[in-house]
Amino acid sequence: MKETESGNTSASRWVSYRPEIKLVDCTIRDGGLMNNHLFGDETVADVYQACVNSGIDYMEIGYKNSKRIFSPSEHGAWKFCTEDDIRRIVGDNDTPLKLSAMADAEKSDYQEDILPSDESVLDMIRVASYIHQVPLALDMIKDAHDKGYETTINLMAISIIQERDLDEALELLADSEVETLYVVDSFGALYSEQVHYFVDKFLKYAEQSGKQVGMHAHNNQQLAFANTIEATIVGANMLDASIAGLGRGAGNCQLELLVSFLHNPKLQLKPILECIQQSIEPLREKLMWGFDVSYLITGLLNQHPRAAMEFNAKGDKGNITEFFDIMNAK
């Protein structure tokens, strides 16, 4: 069998793995954007148990967002992730799985609602920020860090950020307490060469201060898995995915695909497949996530998928060309 330059056989390339790569399950947090986070406890518990049994590193159980902004009468528990609600599902989480929640800049009462880490079952706080919100995000990161959490910054809508603004933001973030800088393809608009470019740029800032880079991809052009692989090849070590791709609009990179691809012997596929069959696929007809031509159009045009979500909610598939013309005129 032919050997590689490093002396390994070509077959060994397909069974080797990078132990530093960590998987973050976003099923409940991102998927909740399709149903106002109104998941029943049984569904959340099934996803949690699948993550534990399959060897996933982190489960993002929802948001830490404000009840002043999002009404509890319209949004489920996983929009707010109170300690009581989380512990109702996971107890003390006496497992290797780490738990995280996301706090949106300008949508989170983070100083009050995020408890010190020694009072919480959460391990990591992920701050989601648009470019103009970075100053606030820096305060949120410091708050979470000082409370004892691991932290990430998920810099959203990377595909529409001006180069100069991005460089300035990355310079500030590189000097902050945050541990992971995330490339977020919010609109599912990026191609592999762009993913390569952004991850490489983020790494240049991250590595100088001992940080790492993550990737969060959406599937508008059916490239979420491919783009996540590309990010991994370049050097991203924190990878977001969701079970059966459940996520906003076209959905995310599918967790089952990443588990199969990474060849890490600690990862087990069967618990995820069981969760898909028992808990996730029964939601598809109602939640309507996943690749669709309308999402292709918004991704192709580098636009937010909200218009496609509204189009799909009407069920008027006969006017897809009209939808294309409307979106193309914006």
CA-to-CA distance for 267 and 118, rounded, in angstroms?
A: 28
The whole-number pLDDT of residue 17 equals: 80
Kindly report the length of the chain.
Answer: 330
The whole-number pLDDT of residue 318 equals: 63
C-alpha dist (Å) from residue 11 to 3, 77, 234: 9, 47, 21
HSE toward the beta carbon, residue 29, CA cutoff 13 A: 29
Q: Give the other-Cβ count within 10 Å of 171's Cβ.
A: 10
Q: Hey, which residues does 99 pair with through a beta bridge?
A: 59
CA-to-CA distance for 296 and 162, rounded, in angstroms?
A: 23
Residue-range domain boundaries for the chain:
21-286, 292-328
Q: How far is CA 277 from the centre of its chain?
A: 22
DSSP class of 183: E
Name the residue type at position 234.
V
CA-to-CA distance for 222 and 299, rounded, in angstroms?
A: 10
Q: Hey, which residues does 151 pair with through a beta bridge?
A: 125
The residues, ordered by sequence, that sit 6+ positions from 139 with a Cβ below 8 Å of its Cβ are none
Cβ(209)–Cβ(243) below 8 Å = no
The residues, ordered by sequence, that sit 6+ positions from 233 with a Cβ below 8 Å of its Cβ are 196
Question: Model pTM greater than 0.75?
Answer: yes
DSSP class of 87: H
Mean pLDDT of each 10-residue bin along the chain, 330 residues long: 37 66 98 98 98 98 98 98 98 98 98 98 98 98 98 97 98 98 97 98 96 98 98 97 97 97 95 98 95 92 91 75 88
Angle at alpha carbon of residue 24, lines to 242 and 229, rounded to 5°:
75
The SS3 of residue 288 is coil
The whole-number pLDDT of residue 313 equals: 83
Burial class (CB in 10 A: 0-12, 13-18, 19+), 123: middle
The residues, ordered by sequence, that sit 6+ positions from 329 with a Cβ below 8 Å of its Cβ are none
CATH of 21-286, one of 3.40.50.720, 3.10.20.340, 3.20.20.70, 3.40.50.970: 3.20.20.70
